Amino acid sequence: MRPRVGVVGASGYSGAIAARLLAGHPDFELTFCTSDRFASEAVERHLAVPTSLTFETNGSALALAETVDAVVLATSAKVSAELAPAILEKKKHVVDLSGAFRLATSGDYSKWYGFAHPAPALLDRAHYGLPELFGAPRHEDVTLVANPGCYPTAALLPLAPLLKAGLVEATGIIIDAKSGVTGAGRQATEEMSFAEVDEDLRAYRVLGHQHTPEITRMLGRSAPEVRLTFTPHLLPIRRGILATCYARPRSGTTKEQVAACLADAYAKTPFVRAVAPERVTIASVAGTNHARVGATADADVVIALGAIDNLVKGAAGQAVQNLNLLFSFDETAGLGHLQRIAP
């Protein structure tokens, strides 16, 4: 019998894609989806997946968790922080798409997310689910996977190997990232209306985005004392992130070395591929769970780029990848068939 999985918050963009991927997954069985917005309506109607499920209310998530082996939380950080501990107590695995278990201390949550974390003891225990860098989540008695943020995924993939190899300095790192609109989730605001976003580009939350401490913390696994600047921009596209990262080269670092470093790091990963910097494009990965990374250098700078689909490798696809690894299925199960959107 296939392991059973449910998705809480399945009407948001990431949750919907998680539900679609699981509904078509050969090794898991999707057995519930919750959404207050669509409660009691057919999942098939809204998600265009072949399933006879109807949406349950979000309030029933905890009760429904009893009936499955693992739960995907596509909820806000605040809701996830409350819900995950309760589900773990029921001895069910949790893969959380929010930032609720990605930072180090409860103080970080007060500062960056604006709420007091209700379960700070879990912060150390959560597995940061970026398999190419940090391996598969261990299938413990019960596992909590903190699924990485979209911007952190796009930035960590090109930067971490270079930092670990000692090719770049750990301070003075610049991450200039650009994201399509779905990174912000479903929005009913004038700011995100087509008339305001189309033909525009702007930076936002300059020096204040909550993914800054997440990237800093996780880069810190490759080198001590990381200091970085992260600037997100809003692109007039639906899906995809390009992170253009700048670091100071250690003495003697060459462009051949940085290119080789990434090629080696991802030589055997099914989803991440090292290519020339100009081929690290959003169009080449959007729609898929793939990432592209690339790097070059001169005497002044190392430039490392990463591109992903923010909803797939940056959210739902990576969640399924983590579930695959957690249950010892093929890492690409239910993901390999995804075709890129670009013709």
Which residue in 36, 204, 328, 330 binds its own copies (CB under 8 A)? 204
* Using rule CB under 8 A, residue 320 touches its own copies: no
User: DSSP character for 213?
Assistant: H
Nearer to its own copies, 64 or 175 (CB): 175
The position carrying tokens 């670009």 is 342
The position carrying tokens 């409350």 is 82
First to last CA, the chain: 38
Structure tokens at 184: 């912000």
Confirm whether 150 is a catalytic residue: yes
Contacts of its own copies in 139-198 (CB under 8 A) = 171-172, 174, 176, 178, 180-182, 186-190, 192-198
Which residue in 7, 8, 10, 17 binds its own copies (CB under 8 A)? 17
User: Considering the complex, what minimum distance in angstroms separates the CB of residue 39 from its own copies?
Assistant: 17
Nearer to its own copies, 65 or 311 (CB): 311
User: Considering the complex, what minimum distance in angstroms separates the CB of residue 290 from its own copies?
Assistant: 8
User: Please, what is the Cα angle at 311 between 306 and 314, to 5 degrees?
Assistant: 40
Query: Per DSSP, what are the bridge partners of residue 292?
Result: 273, 307
User: Considering the complex, what minimum distance in angstroms separates the CB of residue 311 from its own copies?
Assistant: 6
* Using rule CB under 8 A, residue 136 touches its own copies: no
CA atoms of 204 and 189, how far apart (whole Å): 15
Structure tokens at 220: 């810190």
From residue 266, give the alpha-carbon distance in Å to each of 148, 250, 269, 339: 18, 22, 5, 21
As a dihedral over the C-alpha atoms of residue 193, residue 196, residue 197, residue 201, rounded to 10 degrees, the angle is -160
Among 149, 98, 106, residue whose Cα is nearest residue 124? 106
Exposure string over 215-250, b if 16+ CB within 10 A, otherwise e:
bbbbbeebbeebebebbbebbebebbbbbbbbbbbe
Nearer to its own copies, 81 or 305 (CB): 305
Which residue in 287, 289, 320, 323 binds its own copies (CB under 8 A)? 287
Catalytic residue (one of 33, 150, 245, 261): 150
Which residue in 57, 257, 269, 281 binds its own copies (CB under 8 A)? 281
* Using rule CB under 8 A, residue 343 touches its own copies: yes
* Using rule CB under 8 A, residue 341 touches its own copies: yes
Nearer to its own copies, 23 or 65 (CB): 23
Structure tokens at 30: 């999707």
Residue type, 289: N
Give the distance, in angstroms, between the CA of residue 54 and the centroid of all CA atoms in the same chain.
27
Nearer to its own copies, 121 or 207 (CB): 207
User: Please, what is the Cα angle at 151 between 108 and 128, to 5 degrees?
Assistant: 60
User: Considering the complex, what minimum distance in angstroms separates the CB of residue 274 from its own copies?
Assistant: 13
Nearer to its own copies, 113 or 271 (CB): 271
User: Considering the complex, what minimum distance in angstroms separates the CB of residue 239 from its own copies?
Assistant: 7
* Using rule CB under 8 A, residue 111 touches its own copies: no
User: Considering the complex, what minimum distance in angstroms separates the CB of residue 101 from its own copies?
Assistant: 24
Contacts of its own copies in 32-91 (CB under 8 A) = 48, 50
The position carrying tokens 């490798």 is 313
Which residue in 93, 211, 239, 313 binds its own copies (CB under 8 A)? 239
Contacts of its own copies in 240-279 (CB under 8 A) = 240, 242, 244, 246, 248, 277-278
DSSP string, 45-90: HHH--S---BPBPGGGHHHHHTT-SEEEE-S-HHHHHHHHHHHHHT
* Using rule CB under 8 A, residue 280 touches its own copies: yes
User: Considering the complex, what minimum distance in angstroms separates the CB of residue 63 from its own copies?
Assistant: 29
CA atoms of 172 and 256, how far apart (whole Å): 22
Q: Mind telling me the catalytic residues?
A: 150
